[in-house]
A and B are shown apart, each in its own frame.
Chain A
Amino acid sequence: MTTLLRCGPLSAEDGEGRRLYRSVTVALEEGCLTVLEGPSGGGKSTLLRQVAGLASSENVTRELSGRRWVEKDLPGWRSGVTLLMQDAPIIPGSVLENLNFPYGLKSAGDRIFDAERADHMLHEVGLGTIAVERPASTLSGGERHRLAIVRALLWEAPVLLADEPLSGLDGPLASRCFNLLREHARRPGHAVLCVLHDPAMGRGADRRLRLETERLCAA
C-alpha cells in the first residue's frame, strides 16, 4: 500500500496541562478507511485538528501524495486534507449555500459544484425530501451531520478527517453514512481517518488505530 498522508511529530496537552500524546506521527494508506479509537478525552479530536492544521503544532512535517507542505501553505493543505468537524457547524444561509460555499473559495481551483451529484448524495443520506432553499438553521442535529457528510464527500479532498461524523444518527442511517465514507476512502487517491464511538461499526474499517497512554498504535 502507498502512504498517502504523513503528518508528525505531533504532541498535545489538554487545558489542564496533562499530556495527551507525544511525538505521534499519523500515516494514512491510500484507498483505506482508518478508524481512530481511544478513551474519551484522550485527544482524538485534537489530533485530527492538528493534522488538519486548525490546532497549533510546531516543527511538523506534512506530506500529501509525496508533496511536502510548509506552514504558510496551510490553506492549500486544508483544501486537500479536509476536516469533517464534530459539531457539524453550518454557515448562515440555505442548505444549498451550505453545500456550495467552498466552491467560491480560492482553494476550489478547478472544482465546480455538481448540483446533480449533490442531489443524488442528499438522497443517499436520507435528505432527498429536504428543499435545498430551506434555511440550514432549521435542520435537526442529525440532518446537519448528514449535510456535513455530503458536503465533505462532494468536495473530493484526497484525505477526509471525520470527527464523529455519525453522531445523532440512528442504526440504518449511520450504517448508510459509514458505507459512503468507506466507499469514498477505498477509491484510488483517497483515504479517510474517522473517529467513531461505535466499536461494532469500527470493525468494518480497513485499519484501526488507538490513541492511548500518549501513543498512537494499531488497535
Chain B
Amino acid sequence: MNDLIHLTPIDLLVATILVIAAGVVSLAMRLDIEKRLALSAVRTVVQLGLVGLILERVFALRRPILVLAILVVMIIFAGREASNRSTRVYRGMRWDSLLAMGATCLVVGAVVTQVVIGVQPWYDPQYVIPLLGMILGNSLNGVSLCLERLLEHLSARRHEVELRLVFGATRSEALRDPIRTAVRTGMIPVTNIMAAAGIVALPGMMTGQILAGAPPMQAVTYQIVIMFTLAAANAMGSMLIATAAARRLVAPDGRLKVDLLRADRW
C-alpha cells in the first residue's frame, strides 16, 4: 500500500481532457450527446466528491447509527432509480422496487459482510458501505431490466398470458413464462460480467485493489467473493421485483389488471 501514487487536482484536470475529447467526437459526428456528457461529468465529480467527504467523516467517527443511516439513504435512492428506469409504470411500483432492493441489500449484504468476510466490528464502514454499494449498484441494473421486461411482456404479449388462462391456467401457471423470461433478463448483466472476468476485462474492484497496492491473489479472492455476491443479489432482486409486480398486475383468479399499467410516467 505504500507504493500508492497519490493523485492531485492537476491529475484530475488532465483526466478531464479525456472527457472533453469524447465531447469533441460527439460534436464532430453530430451525436448530440455532448451536453449529456458534460452534465454527467459534472454530476460524477459533485456526487463522488460529496460521497468522499461523507465517507471520510463516517470512517473517522465509526458509529453504527451513521453507517445504518447511509445504508437506508442508499437503499431509498436505489429503489427510486430502479423504478425510474422503466418506461411503463403502475401504482405501487416504487414500493415494490424499494422492497426488492432493500431485501436484497440487507440479506445478501449481511451474508457477505458478516459471514463470508466477517467484518469486525459488524458495521465497519470501510467494508460495509463499499460492499453494499456494489451490491445495490449491480442489483439495481438487474432489477430495472427485469421489471422492464416483465411489464413489456404483460403489456405487449398479454394475449399469450390470456391464452393459458382460457384453458384454466392458475395465476402461477400463466405467469411462469413471463417471470422466467424477466428474471433471466435481469441476470444477463452479471452473468456476462462473470463470463468475461479476467479474460476480456479486469473487474473494477480488483483493478482498484491492485492499483492501491494489494497483492493480486488477494484482490482476485475479493473479486470472486464480490462476483458471487452480485450473482446472488441480482437473482434475488430480480425474483422479488418480478413476483411483486406480477402479483399487483394479475389478480389471484388470473385476471390481468393491465389497466393499472401506464406507458407514461406520473
B residues in contact with A107, CB < 8 Å = 167-170
Asked whether any CB of chain A lies closer than 8 Å to the CB of B159, the reply is yes
A residues in contact with B162, CB < 8 Å = 54, 85, 89
Contact assessment for B167 and A79 in the assembled complex, using a CB-CB cutoff below 8 Å: yes
Within 8 A of A (CB), among B222-261: 252-256
B residues in contact with A83, CB < 8 Å = 166
Using known A-B contacts A85-B163, A91-B160, determine if residue A75 contacts B255 with beta carbons closer than 8 Å: no
Distance in angstroms between the alpha carbons of A118 and B207 in the assembled complex = 61
Among the listed A75, A80, A91, which residue makes an inter-chain contact with B163, where contact means beta carbons less than 8 Å apart?
Answer: A91
Asked whether any CB of chain A lies closer than 8 Å to the CB of B164, the reply is yes
Distance in angstroms between the alpha carbons of A92 and B167 in the assembled complex = 16
**CB-CB nearest in chain B for A109:** B168
Contact assessment for B159 and A72 in the assembled complex, using a CB-CB cutoff below 8 Å: no
B residues in contact with A80, CB < 8 Å = 168
Chain A interface residue number, banded: 20 to 34
Using known A-B contacts A53-B255, A91-B160, determine if residue A85 contacts B168 with beta carbons closer than 8 Å: no
Among the listed A71, A78, A87, which residue makes an inter-chain contact with B165, where contact means beta carbons less than 8 Å apart?
Answer: A78
Distance in angstroms between the alpha carbons of A71 and B166 in the assembled complex = 15
* Segment with Cβ contacts to B, from A4-12, A98-106, A165-173, A200-208: A98-106
Using known A-B contacts A72-B252, A105-B173, determine if residue A78 contacts B159 with beta carbons closer than 8 Å: no
Distance in angstroms between the alpha carbons of A91 and B177 in the assembled complex = 10
Distance in angstroms between the alpha carbons of A161 and B243 in the assembled complex = 31
Nearest-Cβ distance from residue A139 to partner chain B, whole angstroms:
14
B residues in contact with A71, CB < 8 Å = 253
Residues of B within 8 A of A (CB): 159-160, 162-171, 173, 177, 252-256
- Extra contacts, 12 of them, besides A75-B253, A106-B170 (Cβ < 8 A), are A53-B254, A54-B162, A54-B166, A55-B255, A71-B253, A74-B255, A75-B165, A79-B168, A101-B164, A102-B168, A106-B168, A107-B170
- Lowest 7 A-B CB distances belong to which pairs? A79-B168, A107-B168, A89-B159, A102-B167, A74-B253, A83-B166, A78-B168
